Amino acid sequence: MIPVEGVEDQKIAVLGLGRSGKATAAALAAGGAQVVAWDDGVDTRAAAEAEGMRVLDLTRDDAWHGISMLVTSPGIPHLYPKPHPVIAKAYALGVPVDNDIGLFFRSYATAGWDAFDRPPRVIAVTGSNGKSTTTALIHHILRTCGRPTQMGGNIGTGVLSLDPAQDGEVVVLELSSYQTDLARALTPDVAVLTNLSPDHLDRHAGLGGYFAAKRRLFAEGGPDRAVIGIDEPEGLYLAGQLATSPADDRVIRISAGQKLDRGAWSVFARKGFLSEYRKGRQVASIDLREVKGLPGAHNHQNACAAYAACRSVGLAPRDIEAAFHSFAGLPHRSQLIAERDGVRYVNDSKATNVDSAAKALQAFQKIRWIAGGLGKDGGIAGLSPFLANVAKAYLFGHSARDFALEIGQTPHEIFETLDQAVAAAASEAETGDTVLLAPAAASFDQYPNFEKRGEHFTALVQDLDQA
């Protein structure tokens, strides 16, 4: 646990008592704060009280006497579509609102660092797609190369549940737009933007607000090094804003397709090869085609981002390359589940939007595509340019019929459930095919989250071996 600094004897309220909320309350108490808490769920409040937490109804005006700060969980709206009533009350009363990410950045560094030979570092990763894989890959490379490291944030451990810093340690954080938008302190040593595509637009009142939330990671604290994906206009704009001149190597531009052989420092992937350029000269090259844990151009972009971040903290190219080959990938993200009778089964349940599904569809040939669930605004018409490799689509769930109308002449069949779609795809698949779960939709029509959907797909594939 990382005790929160600067809160001794202050009365601080915590809104939301899920995993991050409970961890935040404990870290505040460890820092000497008097913690009160509230959650909209009756059962959640009862469980918290049973654990000894002081629950206070923050919807009441008289509950706010003496409260100096409100700390909210990231999933609770603080501005759009409208602020949660408790957060709105804090704004009206002039009470500062923060989240666990802000508390982490103000508390991670301590006086004990003076005794370290090498100061700890923080690498923070954000973006629309690939940030979990990039975060896990950076952590894997650091660990494989013998650097002390922890991973947390939107993946793995909550930030305030991490251990206090070690000499020379590198903490790798995945940060969502919900987390970066509200944090009052954002001071990573290395900040990474993988890419940007429309997502969570209701929480940010449009793409501009969404980008602004991501941009805060780079603008608020000024990282020593910024790794920026420039394959979208927003990334190109951000890189231009941060660099003071073409020779400014504090900005590393990355791309999954463009040749970036000009400028101070760049890393790009083309035709399966990663290249690093410094001041117009190539200094390293890695063949990514045989790295099984990173299939497809979208994962090559993740590799570029991770490579650049690890180079920023002093790792050598050949050590990074060796670590690439031992990376197994993350569950539900282009995860190879099985190979059966010459057919590969790939679980990309995390592909919940058009952009991430498009990347998955470009990563494989001869695809038996399983898609469906609860469709998002705009449907899947945007996938039309990426369907050339699809032999047949197996559409299931709430939006299956809508999806069928949007995929043109692509052969398809409609099913009620994932079980039926997997059975049909497996029975029709031929040697060399890939049965790919890339839903392009949310899971909430039939599953509580994309993880459960991916786990079900994995179980169904494993059952095929027993049939």
d(CA 229, CA 216): 16
273-278/265-270 β-pairing: antiparallel
Burial 138-147 (b: 16+ CB within 10 A, else e): bbbbbbbbeb
- Reference 130, options 227, 261, 275; nearest CA is 227
SS3 134: helix
Residue length of the chain: 467
Residue 207 corresponds to which amino acid?
Answer: L
The answer to whether the bond into 81 is cis (omega within 30° of 0) is yes
Nearest to 314 by CA among 101, 174, 96, 147: 147
Residues 457, 332: Cα–Cα separation, whole Å: 10
Distance CA 282, CA 262 (A): 10
Alpha helix segments (H runs only) across 276-316: 296-312
Residue position matching structure tokens 């737009």: 177
9 backbone dihedrals φ, ψ, rounded to 5°: 65, 10
Binding residues: 127-133
Handedness of CA 144, 330, 200, 447 (dihedral sign): negative
Q: Are 193 and 235 in contact (CB under 8 A)?
A: yes
Where is the binding site for ATP, in residues?
Answer: 127-133
385 in Cβ contact with 354 (< 8 Å)? no
89, 59 Cβ separation under 8 angstroms: yes
In our burial notation (b when 16+ CB lie closer than 10 A, e otherwise), range 72-105 reads: bbbebebbeeebbebbebbeeeebebbbbbbbbb
| Residue the block writes with tokens 């002093």 | 314
